Structure 1
Amino acid sequence: MSEQERTDARTGETERLAEVIRIIDRKLLKEMSVQGERRGDVVGIRQEFWDDLAINFSDETELGETWSSIVQQAELLAERERSHRVASEAAERLAHQHDNPYFARIDFAEKAAASNDAGEGAAGETAEPEVIYIGRASLVGDDGETFYIYDWRAPVSSLFYDHEPGPASYETPGGEIAGELTLKRQFVIRGGRLRHMFDTDETIGDDILQAVLSEKSDTAMKSIVATIQKEQNRIIRDERHRLIVVQGAAGSGKTSAALQRVAYLLYRYRDSLTAEQIVLFSPNPVFKGYISRVLPDLGEANMRQMTFRELIEARLGRRFDAEDLFAQTEDLAATEGTREGDARARAVRYKGSEHFFETVAAYLDRLKREGVVFRQLRFKGDTIVSADEMSRQFYGEYGEDSFGDRLAKLRRWLNGRLTAWVDDQLQEPWVEQAAELLEEEDIQRAYVSVRRKGGFHEGAFDDEDKMTELLLRQAAENAIGPLRRAVKGFRFMDAPETYRQLFVSRSLFAACAPDGRLPEGWDWMAQRVEDKLGRKELDHEDATPLLYLMEALEGFRKVEGEVKHLFVDEAQDYSPFQAAYLRRRFPRARMTVLGDFNQAIYAQAEDSGGFGGWTRLAEPSDTAVWRLTTSYRSTKPIVELSKRILKPEDAEGIRPFNREGEEPRLIRCRDRAHLAELAAADVTALLAAGHATIGVIAKTAQEAGDACSLLKEQLGEDVPVTLVSGGSANLPKGVSVLPSYLSKGIEFDAVLVWDGSAERYGQERHRKLLYTVSTRALHVLHIYYTGELSPYLT
């Protein structure tokens, strides 16, 4: 393209942008007007709701008319509220579009499928190119047919991500559309003004990508719809496979692609899929906050987010002091190299293994015949139903039924026994005393019950007796309310004790093990389970097996059956046991799991063999495994250094995007005080240079706390320094000090690694941890050390 042609093209695009901005402004004014009108309607209806009603309860006819009037007013209010919400969402979307309406243009000439009756348009010929502009959201003219902008998730938009100019095609629900891509153009539009324009032959032009990647970081992840790469687009739009496994290098856009996939699915299946039916497992609360803005920026509601810790807490937190993964990691680090620490590490690895999952599964099969431990129902020291009675009913009376049917019958039987016990207690003095203390609401309820049955009218002679009996029964039922709730929640089964029984008998464990053998260190594990459960404590490595056993005994009645899509980020940190458990908890969900086995830093996943625990969850024909090898996050020098930390075979295939930057610095310090002094000076310089987010990453939480204190002493009150803990939900601007395991998935303009010495990162198991913290940096990486430098950095 000549300079004159380029000038003419830019002039044409500028004029076209101005036209689109005018259309957006006109629509925005209209939506804001509707929004204002509906807001007034809603306020007015709420204020006058009862004034407009003719309330009359004198007889059944008047009561019906009154109720009908209330319903009509409520429906009118709900309709106006919905209309106001729709107008508000439209106005917000248009306001975003005014700033940046689109980011790409493609000209596509569709190939004719067949000749028409007049003999024109023979098969294979191409029509005139259609000009298509692509943005975060569509923009349609007032006629409802003219598309000024296509949503990036529309089928035709995939041409932009998947093809360069030339022959091209895209998939639609009706089949493949083929043709010729004659132009591919990218824009940078800010504040409604055209800043840059590029024509490109590449999937996504390096000029645009360089510009985006060179921007400063933020405390929240951004959308990448303007820079989605071809390999990411395949992941985003994959609708065929039930299980998608993504292995991606650090900074390769795994999480970004996953979030765009959520947005795509909500768009593609908007009539049958809601955000509530999508669940994302995040590695920690900090990461949850970090990614929380991406979907709202794309006009979609956030999917449900949770951490595995929250799942455990929801079911076991009230019964046990349950250790989390971070506390387990800190304990292993504190006892590293000791006899106790080595035994604990063996137990952690084993209890996350497929061998142990198969052992527990076999134990569950055995429990269908014998072995479930029941918990007796007692009231004030008296046994209402003993554990032996429950066992006889379960394995004897109902022994021929399925496990689930037996459980349902046992629950009904227990409720019957509780009702019979209440009948026997009605004449007991404690019931009469309890009835005298009933709340007025209970008394009113008893009166209404008698009145409904024809009581308290002329000719009735035993109403007082009925009322007394009802109050006595209500008092007794109130007293055994906790027992009723325990029966409803299946707490008559003692899942923790049933789990403990597996570790009581060596022969029982061996009989359930798939190879008939006990794991190394079994005696230590057995004693540990005994001690911990006895103190109502729960090691993290026991939490998932206990949860699985508990929910399997209850028939997985509390599974998330309505969830249609499950996303698991940092999947390499999940043990095979946890992967198998999630498959059973979300039985109908399609799964997308993402991770990097070079960042597998937790002991529970050390023996998982990469993603083996995940890929075996579905048939090969239903599974897609994608690899993302280009690292976009960090500059080329930072990626090259981080690759040297890994073993050569693990680093093979990781490619840095060609973005230059300053070389990482390895800084030797005399001692910790000197380290803090140098780091504080660098923080001051980096902030002055415009770096908005600086991460000071220490190995453990204790080291992070020490580093934070030392930096605050050096920097004073002028520079805010925030210690990020496991309970933190948001990443602050400025300087964040955090332990290594909380940095996963997050990025900073500059990363200062606090003590990368051989003492802290000298063992083989520290190699991936050092790689993980080093790859958090976008632009600047400083690694300080005392003594000898880590051997993985030399």
Structure 2
Amino acid sequence: MNEQVSSRDEEEQRLLVVLEQVSRRMRKELSLLGDRREDVVGIRQDFWDDVRMNFSDSTEVGETWSSIVQQAELLAERERSHRVASEMVERLTRQFDSPYFARIDFAEKGGEDEVIYIGRASLVGEDGETFYVYDWRAPVSSLFYDHEPGPASYRIPDGEMEGELKLKRQFVIRGGQLKHLFDTSETVGDEILQAVLSEGSDTAMKSIVATIQKEQNWIIRDEKHKLLVVQGAAGSGKTSAALQRIAYLLYRFRQSLGPDQIIMFSPNPVFKGYISRVLPDLGEANMRQMTFRELIEARIGRRFEVEDLFSQTEILAAEDGTPEGEARERSVRYKGSEHFFITVESYLKRLEQDGVRFRSLRYRTETIVSAEEMAERFYSVRASEGFGARASGLRRWLLERLKAWVESQLDEAWVEEAAELVDSEDIQRAYVDVRRRGGFHDEVFDDEEQMSVRLKKRVAEAAVDPLVKAVRRYRFLDAVATYRELFESRTLFTSCSPDGKLPLGWEWMSQRSEETMGRKAIDHEDATPLMYVLEALEGFRLVEGDILHVFVDEAQDYSPFQAAYLRRRYPRARLTVLGDFNQAIYIQSQESGGFSGWTRLMAPDVTSVLRLTTSYRSTEPIVQYTKGILAAEDAVGIIPFQRKGEAPKVIACKDGGQLGDKVAEDINGLLAKGYGTIGVITKTAHETGNASALLKELLADEVPVTLVTGASAELPKGVSVLPSYLAKGIEFDAVLVWDASSARYGKEKDRKLLYTVCTRALHVLHIYHTGEASPWLPEQGG
């Protein structure tokens, strides 16, 4: 006991020393920030006063332009300095609140003990040599995560540094005060985890680098593998590990890797906002973040009405059990399959010889260039040149044809009539054009004719300007018609199919594609294959080769086709994919064979598959209960962290009115107990609207009730009402499951969805149902 008291006194004294260092740095940086702010404001105010303006001749114009550029560069440099100083102040503010969370004492072989403190960011003394705190990503910091006291080693550029880990101590520091201190022989002490996990949920994910476990640390620091696949139980820290891996990579390769070279695919906009604060808390700028839906929208959403995954899910739920619904499900499953990807690749191979469809260039009733002419020109180039060279060559040829057409129309009546009706602005532009070409001097006699030609040319150019823009964007390639051909010819499909057979329901798919694509509507299951065909025909001209790392969260929701497409789109990138196949809730991925669609993307020797089994999010009773929802073979290996709490409750209601009353009553009780985030989770968006409206009627006006939709970007405090598929990856202090009846969650395909919904709970799980309860709910609870 005396030793513990002595250790605490020693650590409190040491903390004061560190806080004084932070304070000194803070005063210095605040002064610098003030100077930089004054510089920026001054340069902005005096910008034009400091620029020498003279346009008397071309030389003076050049010097004036150089003066403007010089002043702009000076302003940009000062703004960068101000931004760096501001970021440093923010980092020091966080350090003053909690400068470090761990201490290790390590002795190299034949060396003396070295005392090392570890925090979110490093802290170096004014002499530039004294390390008060080491960044958690530094090589030596891995000792804390990977080893217990005893023989230990860590990687250095020249190999391994071996020695003995003599002490491993953890701290909880809040507001510059030492709250807890633990010596531990475990990877990370349970006391620290208990302290963090027992806190209420924030509406944004916390960065909890103090609680990184050994297996998570392997994920974070893996530099060897090009493909890292992480299967983790609900609440096992997959997303936290991914974000900390990004922070580690930015730190480790800071000379060659920037946040704009990393992209993370999130399951929905709500989740994007939920994790947005983690990297800034770790001292790094956020990486690029998007949903797969946003990628689809960027490529084909401007030209077509594209169904999203959530709308598809709602439609399938509404048509469940009908012949139309069953046919659509078959189509969704097949078009996301590896079989279909191989079929499309084989089709693209055939298109190298023949079959690409084109759009004719027409002005009014006149065909300027026919689709047949384009095909002839396209296929006149050797197949070995590839689609890209053929398409770009055709593009240049079409632009020349449009230019020639403009010249051919100058004497046409419609052009002359339109030129006579131009406004004064067009006349002025024509005058400027002629003047630039040396017109309107005494010795020039054809000025009026030049003006007339210029005006007529502008009329003709304006007429075909939409066509020019379309050609520049490769719109002459008809990707939709080319893709549809697969579902219009049985012979073509079977010749491309790897087994030479048509998929079950091919006739329905054929009819469906004709109906939807004929009116420029694209089903979600067609969006990725269509993007693949489109980008292949264009030669993958928009492939993002500058992206070096791609992270995919909730990877179990991606079809094998989508996985293969992402690999093609980011050819230079290393992949980190994270998910839980027990949470595969979408039809497109439920029969994909786990993560095989991902693991086959790269060679086995550059692929690593890791499994996280311990669930930290929920209390032990909740984890044990939710394991019972799964089939026995799927629940194997899920280990609850030993955090006590109340058992889940299953609450029967006689009808929807009583269900609303009981949920509202529970919400009031939970808010009174101090729970900050409460998730009311329905199965579908339709139910969400009804539940939200009912709860707003039953609850007091001061109780915040937010209807969360697919367009929502933030998760607010208070009560959130949301559909099951938007809850992916998010956690709440308390989860209230709205109507987990047999009618809503009675089928085998609903089992994983119900599991996903229930595993969002940190501390409290209440499950309500009308009629008979879902057969997947364990009998315990009540």
SS of aligned partner of 1:717: coil
Per-residue CA distance 1:660-696 (angstroms, 9 max, x = gap): 1000011111111111111111110000000000001
**How far apart are residue 143 of structure 1 and its match?**
1.2
| Structure 1 residue 694 corresponds to structure 2 residue 692 | no
Separation in structure 2 between the aligned mates of residue 624 and residue 789 of structure 1, nearest angstrom: 41
SS of aligned partner of 2:728: coil
**How far apart are residue 57 of structure 1 and its match?**
2.8
**How far apart are residue 557 of structure 1 and its match?**
0.5
Residue 49 of structure 1 is matched in structure 2 by 47
**How far apart are residue 471 of structure 1 and its match?**
2.9
Residue 615 of structure 1 is matched in structure 2 by 599
**How far apart are residue 718 of structure 1 and its match?**
2.9
Q: State which of 310, 318, 338 in structure 2 corresponds to 1:326.
A: 310
**How far apart are residue 535 of structure 1 and its match?**
1.9
Structure 1's 438 and 187: CA in aligned 2 closer, same or farther, altered over 3 A? farther
Structure 1's 64 and 402: CA in aligned 2 closer, same or farther, altered over 3 A? closer
- Structure 1 range deviating more: 531-540 or 212-221: 531-540
Q: TM-score, normalised by structure 2?
A: 0.97
Query: AA paired with 1:4?
Result: N
Residue 201 of structure 1 is matched in structure 2 by 185
Equivalent residue runs for 1:261-276 within 5 Å: 261-276=245-260
Separation in structure 1 between the aligned mates of residue 662 and residue 507 of structure 2, nearest angstrom: 49
Structure 1's 70 and 539: CA in aligned 2 closer, same or farther, altered over 3 A? closer
**How far apart are residue 575 of structure 1 and its match?**
0.4
SS of aligned partner of 2:56: coil
Separation in structure 1 between the aligned mates of residue 353 and residue 59 of structure 2, nearest angstrom: 60
SS of aligned partner of 2:25: helix
Separation in structure 1 between the aligned mates of residue 160 and residue 503 of structure 2, nearest angstrom: 54
**How far apart are residue 448 of structure 1 and its match?**
4.5
Residue 163 of structure 2 is matched in structure 1 by 179
- Structure 1 range deviating more: 316-325 or 602-611: 316-325
| Structure 1 residue 110 corresponds to structure 2 residue 108 | yes
SS of aligned partner of 1:716: coil
Query: AA paired with 2:460?
Result: A
Separation in structure 2 between the aligned mates of residue 436 and residue 37 of structure 1, nearest angstrom: 61
Per-residue CA distance 1:386-429 (angstroms, 9 max, x = gap): 11111122224666743322222211211121111111101123
Residue 128 of structure 2 is matched in structure 1 by 144
Query: AA paired with 2:504?
Result: E
Contact 2:388 2:540 in 1 (8 A): no
SS of aligned partner of 2:414: helix
Residue 337 of structure 1 is matched in structure 2 by 321
Q: TM-score, normalised by structure 1?
A: 0.96
RMSD: 1.5
**How far apart are residue 588 of structure 1 and its match?**
0.9
Residue 510 of structure 1 is matched in structure 2 by 494
Separation in structure 1 between the aligned mates of residue 91 and residue 604 of structure 2, nearest angstrom: 41
**How far apart are residue 171 of structure 1 and its match?**
0.9
Q: State which of 346, 368, 387 in structure 2 corresponds to 1:384.
A: 368
- Structure 1 range deviating more: 354-363 or 390-399: 390-399
Equivalent residue runs for 1:552-571 within 5 Å: 552-571=536-555
Contact 2:149 2:185 in 1 (8 A): yes
Separation in structure 2 between the aligned mates of residue 90 and residue 66 of structure 1, nearest angstrom: 37
| Structure 1 residue 403 corresponds to structure 2 residue 387 | yes
Residue 354 of structure 1 is matched in structure 2 by 338
Query: AA paired with 2:532?
Result: Y
Separation in structure 2 between the aligned mates of residue 610 and residue 398 of structure 1, nearest angstrom: 41
Separation in structure 2 between the aligned mates of residue 239 and residue 522 of structure 1, nearest angstrom: 44
- Structure 1 range deviating more: 454-463 or 547-556: 454-463
Contact 2:171 2:179 in 1 (8 A): yes
Q: State which of 79, 89, 92 in structure 2 corresponds to 1:91.
A: 89
Query: AA paired with 2:91?
Result: R
- Structure 1 range deviating more: 721-730 or 246-255: 721-730
SS of aligned partner of 2:525: helix
Separation in structure 2 between the aligned mates of residue 415 and residue 60 of structure 1, nearest angstrom: 33
Structure 1's 201 and 438: CA in aligned 2 closer, same or farther, altered over 3 A? farther
Q: State which of 4, 7, 12 in structure 1 corresponds to 2:5.
A: 7
**How far apart are residue 449 of structure 1 and its match?**
4.3
Equivalent residue runs for 1:723-734 within 5 Å: 723-734=707-718
Separation in structure 2 between the aligned mates of residue 270 and residue 465 of structure 1, nearest angstrom: 62
Separation in structure 1 between the aligned mates of residue 200 and residue 50 of structure 2, nearest angstrom: 57
Separation in structure 2 between the aligned mates of residue 699 and residue 729 of structure 1, nearest angstrom: 20
Separation in structure 2 between the aligned mates of residue 174 and residue 143 of structure 1, nearest angstrom: 27
Matched positions, count: 778
Contact 2:389 2:539 in 1 (8 A): no
Separation in structure 1 between the aligned mates of residue 707 and residue 391 of structure 2, nearest angstrom: 49
Structure 1's 447 and 655: CA in aligned 2 closer, same or farther, altered over 3 A? same
SS of aligned partner of 2:700: helix
Residue 699 of structure 2 is matched in structure 1 by 715
| Structure 1 residue 165 corresponds to structure 2 residue 156 | no
SS of aligned partner of 1:502: helix
Query: AA paired with 1:369?
Result: Q
Per-residue CA distance 1:188-225 (angstroms, 9 max, x = gap): 11111111111110110000110000000011100021
**How far apart are residue 367 of structure 1 and its match?**
0.8
Percent of aligned positions with the same letter in both sequences? 70
Residue 25 of structure 1 is matched in structure 2 by 23
Residue 73 of structure 2 is matched in structure 1 by 75
| Structure 1 residue 600 corresponds to structure 2 residue 584 | yes
**How far apart are residue 501 of structure 1 and its match?**
1.1
| Structure 1 residue 736 corresponds to structure 2 residue 720 | yes
Separation in structure 2 between the aligned mates of residue 450 and residue 269 of structure 1, nearest angstrom: 55
**How far apart are residue 266 of structure 1 and its match?**
1.0
Equivalent residue runs for 1:606-645 within 5 Å: 606-645=590-629
Structure 1's 65 and 495: CA in aligned 2 closer, same or farther, altered over 3 A? closer
Query: AA paired with 1:584?
Result: R
**How far apart are residue 53 of structure 1 and its match?**
3.2
Per-residue CA distance 1:496-541 (angstroms, 9 max, x = gap): 1111111111111111101000011111111111111112211111
Q: Is there any run of 5+ residues in structure 1 with no aligned partner, and where?
A: 112-124
Separation in structure 1 between the aligned mates of residue 641 and residue 119 of structure 2, nearest angstrom: 25
Query: AA paired with 1:101?
Result: P
**How far apart are residue 450 of structure 1 and its match?**
3.9
- Structure 1 range deviating more: 572-581 or 781-790: 781-790
Contact 2:387 2:536 in 1 (8 A): no
- Structure 1 range deviating more: 449-458 or 741-750: 449-458
Separation in structure 1 between the aligned mates of residue 463 and residue 205 of structure 2, nearest angstrom: 52
Per-residue CA distance 1:350-386 (angstroms, 9 max, x = gap): 1100111111111111111111111100011211011
Query: AA paired with 2:68?
Result: I
| Structure 1 residue 490 corresponds to structure 2 residue 474 | yes
Structure 1's 532 and 635: CA in aligned 2 closer, same or farther, altered over 3 A? same
Residue 228 of structure 1 is matched in structure 2 by 212
**How far apart are residue 318 of structure 1 and its match?**
2.1
Contact 2:551 2:575 in 1 (8 A): yes
Q: State which of 20, 36, 54 in structure 2 corresponds to 1:38.
A: 36
Q: Is there any run of 5+ residues in structure 2 with no aligned partner, and where?
A: none
- Structure 1 range deviating more: 145-154 or 42-51: 42-51
